[in-house]
Structure 1
Amino acid sequence: MKELTSDQRRAVVDHLLLRVVEAPCKLHHGAIKEVAQIFGRNRHTIAEIWKRANVSISAEGQTSIGCHDVASQKKGIVGRKQKYTDLPARIRAVPPQRRTTLQRIAHAIGIPASTLKDYYKRGLMVKYNSNIKPKLTDVNKVARVNWAMKFVRPDSNFQFADMFDYVHVDEKWFHATKIKSRVYLLPGEVPPHRSTQSKHFITKVMFLSAVARPRWDDAKSEWFDGKIGTWHFTQVVPAARSSRNRPAGTLELRPVSVTRPIYKKMLLENVIPAIKAKWPQDSTRSIVIQQDNARPHVPTWDESVVAACTSDG
């Protein structure tokens, strides 16, 4: 626990002065304990500060107060000298692959883990989270730069395009239920019971979302939030066999595998009509549907998609 600063020590005296009940400087019962709880310190620490202040209050209406300085007398670097002065060199000699935990580092350099933790709190080391990066070749890097350069507009002092004419589509998996869930209950309420045959076979469905940059729609005099829509890849099929939950032939909603024909059908029946319905009418630019390089995605020259996009002009 860090020691109290000079300002905190003076604040302790101020709090205690508010709890003086009579001259010369008598505190009410429990005053030191109250201040100790406020500053998170032991009552003996607060008592020593009050004793060092040596407050004197005149009896004539308590208008004259005398108090000694209670600022910390420890200046500069104080405390015992560090036992391990060569820790940076010893830690640097340990390969980064072995520096995953403080316990492993302490074992590698031969000091207690608790001691190394103290040095870590003093700022000897910093924690860094390492994430896997894509391994790019020179050809990949050049392709990325060329793709980014397509959005540079030479006619506007080489500024990047605002991308107001782009609609970004992407897929994401969602599970039917979560393995862990949090719920707040009142006293006496019974927690909801959740069960499944196996947590490894929870139904998951792929969704497709389309978004664009938000902007002001002058035609409707309202804010266009850029949310085109979200759709799920499912189909309604009759149950092939009877079970204890439903007889055979009952219509069920089931997820489908996303293939190129399924994805193409989603574009033609949902995404493109939604863009035409929600897109600001005052925009005269050609709309571009931006997708990643997933295998089910349709090529840019697909005749059915081009015809659906240009059907209304």
Structure 2
Amino acid sequence: MELGRPTRSENLTSADRDVVLSALLARSSSGVLHHGALSVAAATHKISVQTVRRVWRRAQKSFERTGMFVSKSRICNTGRKLTSRTSNLERLRGAPAVSRATIRAAAAICNIPPTALFREFRNGRLRVAAGVAKLVLAEANMLQRLDFCAAHVRNDSRFDDTEHVVHLDKKHFNLTTAKKRVVLLQDEPEPTRRLRSRRHIGKVMVLVAVARSRWIGGHFSNGKIGSWGSLCHEPAKRSSSHRLAGTMLTKEGPVNKETYREKLLRFVLPAVRGR
């Protein structure tokens, strides 16, 4: 079998070396080549005898180490040897978290260049953890939670199913965001939004009512009762370059005891009864 290689000198590929090694093994007995096997393999595959002998010697060394006749490429054994940075990376273990927040700071602790530390990231030896600060419960908060749990224990020492409880919460949301993502067709124009300031976006207080999910009348209810915002529409008192006096404006309404009671009577209680 002739190798599909040009006559000029070049390195053998892995497939070429496997073909040459298979031909040599076919002309060997107990790991010893027959007389003239190197010359026959060199003439058959149109390579030099020195190349065939080199392939066979590598295969013999591989057999002594692993018990397999494999002739690896010299590409696997060239280039700068990998440097073990285990001792350098172990310096991070005792360093405080605030002093290794960046790659450059961590590289200074390990006493290696930042590029070398970045290669360790790509090799999977390091990772980045982005943690969020968690709130600490005070003793008063723990007692409040314990009292809340104790209030839902029945006389028979079982927990209440809380199906008669409606949870109310106030959420503060922005009226819009400076950046929005929209899915468009290829021929649709991009929508244009205008804001007077991207740093000062109006907010709105929303009252949210939820309850425990349950089956009602044969259908499943997810427990979401409703949400009501505290917005109001008022006419502009003065004219400006943006609008005339009397133009209706949407503003955030006041949030106090009176408005909270009004929303309970007008929206929350009718919505609960409607469930």
What is the aligned-residue RMSD (CA, Å)? 3.8
Deviation of 1:233 (Å): 0.3
Deviation of 1:196 (Å): 2.0
Is 1:212 matched up with 2:215?
no
Partner Cα distance (1:151, 1:231) in 2:
28
Is 1:191 matched up with 2:190?
yes
Name the aligned partner's letter for residue 219 of structure 2: E
User: What is the correspondence of 1:45-124 to structure 2 with a 5 Å cutoff?
Assistant: 48-49=14-15, 52=18, 80=81, 82-124=83-125
Is 1:249 matched up with 2:246?
yes
- Among 237, 241, 245, the alignment partner of 1:240 is 237
Partner Cα distance (1:118, 1:212) in 2:
51
Name the aligned partner's letter for residue 169 of structure 2: D
Following TM superposition, where does structure 1 have runs of at least 4 consecutive aligned residues deviating by more than 6 angstroms?
Answer: 24-27, 53-56
Query: Residues 245, 135 of structure 1: CA spacing in aligned structure 2 closer, same or farther, 3 A cutoff?
Result: same
Deviation of 1:244 (Å): 5.0
User: What is the correspondence of 1:101-180 to structure 2 with a 5 Å cutoff?
Assistant: 101-152=102-153, 155=156, 158=158, 160-180=159-179
- Which of 1 and 2 has higher RCO (CA within 8 Å, sep 6+)? 1
Would you tell me which structure has more helix in proportion to its own residues? 2
Q: Could you tell me the percent identity over the aligned residues?
A: 32
> 2:27 — aligned with what?
none
Name the aligned partner's letter for residue 148 of structure 2: W
Higher mean alpha-carbon deviation, 147-156 vs 225-234, is at 147-156
Contact 2:92 2:110 in 1 (8 A): yes
Under a length normalisation based on structure 1, what TM-score does the superposition of the two structures give?
Answer: 0.57
Structure 1: runs of 5 or more not aligned: 1-23, 28-43, 57-69, 279-313
Structure 2: runs of 5 or more not aligned: 5-10, 24-67
Query: Residues 187, 169 of structure 1: CA spacing in aligned structure 2 closer, same or farther, 3 A cutoff?
Result: same
Pair member with larger Rg:
2
Under a length normalisation based on structure 2, what TM-score does the superposition of the two structures give?
Answer: 0.64
Higher mean alpha-carbon deviation, 87-96 vs 98-107, is at 87-96
1:209-257 CA distance string (max 9 Å, x none):
1111221113xx3222312111110223232123455543344332113
1:31-68 CA distance string (max 9 Å, x none):
xxxxxxxxxxxxx99x6358637899xxxxxxxxxxxx
Aligned length: 218
Deviation of 1:121 (Å): 4.4
Contact 2:209 2:268 in 1 (8 A): yes
- Among 259, 267, 271, the alignment partner of 2:268 is 271
Partner Cα distance (2:3, 2:155) in 1:
80
Deviation of 1:203 (Å): 2.3
Contact 2:17 2:71 in 1 (8 A): no
